[in-house]
Amino acid sequence: MPVCETVWSILTCFQIQHQGTHSHVT
């Protein structure tokens, strides 16, 4: 698995958690 795939997964998870805390999405 490419590193990009792992980084994207972490970023997505982080964004989802951030959305749960803040409803303001850019």
pLDDT at position 2 = 82
Contact present, 25 and 19 (Cβ < 8 Å): yes
pLDDT at position 5 = 92
Burial grade of 17 (CB within 10 A; 0-12, 13-18, 19 or more): exposed
Q: What's the Rg (C-alpha) of the chain?
A: 11
E strand map for 1-26:
none
User: What pLDDT, in 10s, does the model give residues 1-26?
Assistant: 688 899 999 999 888 887 766 655 55
CA–CA gap between residue 5 and residue 19 (Å, rounded): 21
